[in-house]
Structure formats: C-alpha cells, structure tokens
Amino acid sequence: MAFHAPIRTMATAARQSLKVGLIPADGIGKEVIPAARAAIEALGSDIPKLEFVDLQAGFELFARRGTALPEETVEALQECNCALFGAVSSPIKKVTGYSSPIVALRKKLDLYANVRPVVSVAANAGDKPSVDLVVVRENTECLYVKQETITSSETGREARATRLITERASRRIGKMAFEIALKRPRKQVTIIHKSNVLSVTDGLFRESVRGVSHSAEDGRYDGVRIEEQIVDSAVYRLFREPQIYDVMVAPNLYGDIISDAAAALVGSLGLVPSVNAGDNFVMGEPVHGSAPDIAGQDIANPLASIRSAALMLRHLGYGRGADRIDSAVDTVIREGQVLTPDLGGKSKTQEVVAEVLKRI
C-alpha cells in the first residue's frame, strides 16, 4: 500500500512505552477515536506498552466551560509521545471568544505539516491503486493565522484578512514533501500555487519550495522531479487524471481544499487519514469533520480514524504494526460486506470496528 513510509520516522529503539493522548472533541470524534484506540491495542507485541490519556477540547467543551482548548490539555500532550484527534465543530459564524482548537494545537505543538495520503483500494490485493497520491499541506500559516478585521464605511461593511506566507515555513514544508517523495516510487513533487494572481505570497511559497531542492546537500533531491500546477487547474486535473500526481505540496488553504476534494476519488471522506507532524511530535487526525447530522447514531465510518492511527504509528517507526492495520482495513473495504452507509453499506460503526479488529 502507498500508505507505507510516507514521512520520516522518529527513533524508537529506546522507547519502552508509548503514551498516546486521545482527544475525541466533537460529534463523531467520540465514536471514531475509540475505534482507533482499539486498533492500536490489537497490535499486541508489535508496539511497546501502551498508556492512553483522555483529554478534552472542542466547541462542545467551549459551550460548557468557555474554552475550546484547556491549558491542561496542552500540558498533558507535552508529556505524551503522540496523539489522536477526532473532529471539531467550528461554527460558520463568528462566536466571541472561540477559535478552533485543532488550529491552535498545530501552532502550539509546531505541527507544521499536515500529511494526507489519498489511496484507492484495488479490487485485487496485487493490483496497483488507481489513485495514489499524498497531499502535504503547510499547517501554520496562510489565511489560517486568523487575522481578520471588519470596518464600516459609507458604502457598507468591509472585511479584511491577512494572509501570511514565510520563507521559513515554506521551506520546511517543501523539505517534508521532498522527503516523502524520496520514499515513493515515482519521486515527484507538484507545487500547488496561484502565483499568476498572488505573485508576492504564492510567489514566495513557490520559490521557497523550489529552493529546497536546489540547496540540498550532496544533491539529495536531484532524483525528485518538480512539477507545478495552478490551484484551480490542479483541482480540475485531480478529477480528470489523478494518476499524474504523486506528492502535492500546498499552502494551508489550498491543501485543505485539495485533500478534501481528493477524498471523493476514493469513495468517502470517511476513508482518508492524516497526521499533523512536526520534528518532535505527531498527531493523527481523520480528514472528515464532526458530522453532527449522524453523531450518536453508530453509523460513522471509523476507517479514516483507524488509518490515521496507522499513519501515526508509521511516523513513530512502528511500521509492522501500521502494516497490519492498513492490511486489515484494505481487506474489509475490498470484501465490501461490512461497510457503513457512506460507502453504500448497512453496517454500524461498531460492526466495522469488530471486522477490522478480527483482520488485525
């Protein structure tokens, strides 16, 4: 599977135990994070002794306590080796005092890369998937710095937002993308931008990512082919010919949109995992949202969360355990007998979890 070895791994030799923070947050996060935990626990001796820490965050918590991300959650995570985050319900209208806890966590823990593999499951285990790409999204800047103002004038209200792109952030996300590409057969990086319009901000992103390859010591990235695509054309070609893409690297907003769109190519957002990765910490996070319309009905798809756990473990260096989880998920999808409604099935969340655990 192309989920294998997507990003550089952290050293594991001296680790005697694995402390995992669990943040279900809102909506179906409360249903899918326990599924991810169960998959990790099923690995037995392929991973160290496990310790799970239950933590709180989210809009529902904000409604109760007036804070979406308690300081004790951040402090507890700093004592963990890794974490799993479920989903957050962010209101579409401004709520005084509220800001997204997942965006805040990415910044506080310096999880500068959001890595989202999008891979279709081939009908036969030996066949190549028809979609096999990785979106590498810069995680800390762009419009997500959330510096917005609104003023009034004679002609009405005016809203403005600051978009931040720095050379430092662009270079390190570029390096992450090149490192991922090195471990993949095609070794191709496509830079996604809109520098034909945003020549200053996207121009800096484009130039900085390209500069990673040119400045690498000993020609480390000489074997990686660099392509470019304007973001709107990239979305069009993503649906028309997804096979042209290998590793796509993008600023925060473009990466968010592209990875969600790419999920349609493999059947459901409920299948697509991600990790928020930094140099010293990794947090798995399914790409789907909190889905309040189905929360509590036991029909949420747990597979993206389970795959996110595997992706997290692989980043930590536990490749064998991650392989077992990925293989189990692939088998369940391929057989098609136990699937949630988003994939055309009639099974409950817990039935799918049980089937995956049996395969593990």
Which residue numbers are catalytic? 144, 194, 232, 256, 260
Q: How long is the chain?
A: 360
Q: How many helices (H) and strands (E) does the chain have?
A: 11, 12
Structure tokens at 31: 């249903």
How are the residues of the chain apportioned to helix, strand and coil, as percentages rounded to the nearest 5? 40, 20, 40
Residue 350 to residues 28, 32, 162, 294, Cα–Cα distance (Å): 13, 9, 44, 14
DSSP conformation letters of 321-354: HHHHHHHHHHHHHHH-SS--GGGT----HHHHHH
Residue type, 291: A
Question: Taking the CB of residue 214, how many other CB atoms lie within 10 A of it?
Answer: 10
* C-alpha to C-alpha distance for 157 and 151, rounded to whole angstroms: 6
Q: What is the DSSP letter of 120?
A: P
Judge contact between 315 and 332, C-beta under 8 A.
Answer: no
DSSP conformation letters of 140-201: S-BGGG--EEEEEETTEEEEEE--B--HHHHHHHHHHHHHHHHTSSS-EEEEEE-TTT-TTH
* C-alpha to C-alpha distance for 179 and 51, rounded to whole angstroms: 30
